[in-house]
Copies of this chain bind each other. A is one copy, B any other.
């Protein structure tokens, strides 16, 4: 193994230069403000957690966890999501707080580098957890909030794909009972959205024609409210039927919120977290192949921390939203003023800088001129800005003889 070069950083992590950092912070700020207005209160948890508690509960594959040892030889992990840490806090420091509990977070999370392109080892999330409410009303609230947050972040075009883990579990249990391998193979195809592979796997199973059609038919179960009706015909399994009924209730609430136009029911969707127990959803922005948000219901996680309770929530992938927004035009930037001065006029120049810095929308930089220097070489740009040494200013104010 060779020594890293001085300018290198580890695989899968990024630097955000000023323009990108400003956009990322603006997204975070607006999203957190939106969550606050819906009654969600931010909590901050540590980057490091115990492997045996939060690490195990987090549902991230073991090999994807960043692990280290503390001085007592206990294994720590760098958090791989925020849902498990928040479940820990809800069950300990906040255990006396009555339900429902509405909590939000902005945090960086860590998953060890994966071979696939585009996967980051450290990424930024903003999200909420609504704990202690098992109703479809609660599920709809977090979906409607996810939509409001995407809009607050400036994502213009997006769709929320809404599914339910109970539908596929029930359907597969009905059609492929005792054939766990086949169930696993089909779910893997759906998770990677490999519909060709899904159809081929079904053919290879040697199922009765009717059952084969039933399993193939679900690939068409994507759309609006009508999907709920259609899905009811597909399966008689009670778990699947219950899932469909729950999705229909969620849909009704989303209509009352006036946001169902953004939602697409997709019964082939599988959430990427093993702790999901009910509805799951993903948000897709136009032109992006990967979700910008994901969420779902997880009714069994809190019991692992000693305070059994239903819960639902989501996370926005803030740095992916940056990739969507980053292409759009920058918002109105503050006016940047450069104040140059000779030593003799220092106090007046610094007072002027102070005045600008106290005004909304202004930035002031100061520069002492060298002895005998009477000004700076500023180059007027086509858009009127003044350029000095690669920096742009709207105005240069001189305090010189």
A residues whose Cβ falls under 8 Å from a Cβ of B: 1, 3-11, 13-18, 20-22, 24-25, 29, 32, 34, 36-39, 41-50, 52-53, 66-68, 70-74, 76, 78, 88-89, 91-94, 96-100, 102-103, 108, 110, 112-113, 121-122, 135, 137, 141, 148, 253, 256-258, 304-306, 334, 336, 346-347, 350-351, 354, 356-357, 362-368, 389-391
A70 with B304: CB separation less than 8 A: no
The residue in A22, A24, A336 that gathers the most chain B C-beta atoms within 10 A of its C-beta is: A22
Are B362 and A37 in contact, CB atoms less than 8 angstroms apart? yes
A41 vs chain B, min Cβ distance (A) = 4
- Copies of this protein, total: 2
Q: Is the CB of B88 within 8 A of A9?
A: yes
CB distance from A362 to the nearest CB of B (A): 7
**A8-B50, A364-B38 given as contacts; is B70 within 8 A of A43 (CB)?**
no
Complex CA gap A119/B50 in Å reads 19
Q: Which of B29, B91, B334, B366 is within 8 Å of A7, CB to CB?
A: B91
| A interface: dominant SS | mixed
Contact in complex: A93, B15 (CB < 8 Å): yes
> Are B16 and A43 within 8 A (Cβ)?
yes
**In angstroms, how far is the closest chain B Cβ from the Cβ of A198?**
32
Residue of B nearest to A16 (CB): B44
Q: A10-B76, A141-B366 are in contact. List 15 more A-B contacts (CB 8 A).
A: A4-B53, A7-B92, A8-B53, A14-B46, A15-B93, A16-B45, A37-B363, A37-B364, A38-B357, A48-B66, A100-B367, A148-B357, A256-B350, A257-B350, A258-B351
